[in-house]
Amino acid sequence: MKKLPQIQHLIDGQIVGGGSRSQDVFNPATGKAEKRVLLADKLTVEKAIASAQAAYPAWRATPPLKRARVMSKLKILLEENAEQLCALLTAEHGKVLSDSMGELQRGIENVEYASYAPELLKGEHSKNVGPAMDSWSEFQPIGVTAGITPFNFPVMVPLWMWPMAIACGNTFVLKPSERDPSSALLVAELALQAGLPPGVLNVVNGDKEAVDALLADKRVQAVSFVGSTPIAEYIYSVGCAHGKRVQALGGAKNHAIVMPDADIANAVSALMGAAFGSCGERCMAIPLVLAVGDATADAVVAGLKTEIAKMKVGPGTDAANDMGPLVTQQHLDKVTGYVEQGIKEGAKLVVDGRAVKVKGNGYFLGACLFDNVKPGMKIYQEEIFGPVLGVMRVKTLQEGMDLINAHEYGNGTCIFTRDGEAARYFSEHILVGMVGINVPLPVPVAYHSFGGWKRSLFGDLSAYGPDAVRFYTKRKTITQRWPSAGVREGAVYSFPTNR
């Protein structure tokens, strides 16, 4: 039997082994194991943390401009190696190459934002806050930080985290998803080529044992996480119990409202990409449409049915395909289980993607479309994370908004309308963190921040953008006074004021 290539860890600038366990890494388009990834044990994680701890003093003392130049060089290297990175990403995740390229580009934008560190870390200064007294604030790094990232964006989400953490003067331990770890590891190697000193960024591949080691170690000061809500809640509660700063982004069930005055053809086109891009494996995907009025719903369903019939499903390496496979057989089984549950609960399955035929043994599921979805159904309430879109019929905008606001998730939402008043009312009163007006995937650009409300985010600060600077630094305020030489001052026992 042919021995599979082994994916290891990056610790202290070197590719190393660590851990006695390993698991297969599959190509979702073929269903075949093509690599094996080592799963770090507690000792391996502790070595990575020790490396980050040892590198921290010198990196903290490195001027922000020099740290920023590493990010600038990394941006160039990512662009130069884009084809290789996207091939790795598609081979292990399954998404089509054009989608991989889009993911990489959004990650690169975060690297570019981190290269502005000298500007972002400038403090605030006030002169003469009192007699001959000045005060200023500065933002200092916090030490060893860590990130735990999901399978669906193996390049982009790590780049949400460690570039800004490192640009702020911290060191970092990354634990990418063990399902598709190769691209995150290659990006880390490119960071070393860009001039990042050994130990500043370490990558450990692993599962819950590695996660728990990161959460329990006192040397780790902050943890960032993106994944499902149950795991996000676990990361948040355990991390906080160990005294860490934690930012844990969880799941979603994003609704799109389509108003009667909307441009239906354009709305349908937008919904196709939002629902079925990346096979629906996005926390910002649109799995639910709230159509206001039966006429609107009928037009949306008819348009979606027509567009789905044009979709091409197959390996992500074929540029002609619109949608690739789901990431694993287990996830395929889970998503098809939701389709079966929706039928049992009384929703109308307009398009059955289970009938899709693709050569080979890949984890393929075609686009599925339900009509007459109701609030009590599992396909309404739970995150499916697959190519399943449900249409609900509501009578008014307010009825649709009430449903969105009552849902446990509050990650993203959007409205399709030509009515500015309705759009303004919607954006003002909807209880969701990221809102689109005729934009189905309102993912903020790198210089804004990404974060939902309710059970879609645990912690006070969102990911990347300005919030990342605050998450990966601590504010220190310094007040200074130099009394005039030779002047004797008496003791003051009252609280100081500026009267």
Best CA proximity match to 153, nearest among 227, 251, 222: 227
Residue 76 contacts by C-beta under 8 Å, 6 or more apart in sequence? none
CB–CB of 327/333 below 8 Å? no
Residue 252, token pair as written in the block: 């979603």
Q: Which amino acid is at 424?
A: R
Given 86, 168, 279, 283, the catalytic residue: 283
Q: Which residues of 448-466 are buried (b: 16+ CB within 10 A; e: fewer)?
A: ebbbbebbbbbbebbbbbe
The contacts of residue 428 (CB under 8 Å, 6+ apart) are none
Q: Which residue has the tokens 């079925």?
A: 276
Helices 264-276 and 294-310: crossing angle in degrees, nearest 10, is 60
Nearest to 28 by CA among 105, 80, 81, 100: 100
How many residues does this entry show for the chain?
Answer: 499
* φ and ψ at residue 401, rounded to 5 degrees: -65, -40
List residues bridging with 247 in a β-sheet: 224
Q: With CA atoms as reference, report the closest residue to 73 among 196, 237, 170.
A: 196
Q: Classify 201 as helix, strand or coil.
A: strand
| 283 among known catalytic residues | yes
> Which two three-digit tokens encode residue 281?
């494996």
CA distance 193 to 103: 22
Contact, 97 vs 86, CB < 8 A? yes
Report, as residue numbers or ranges, the catalytic residues.
283
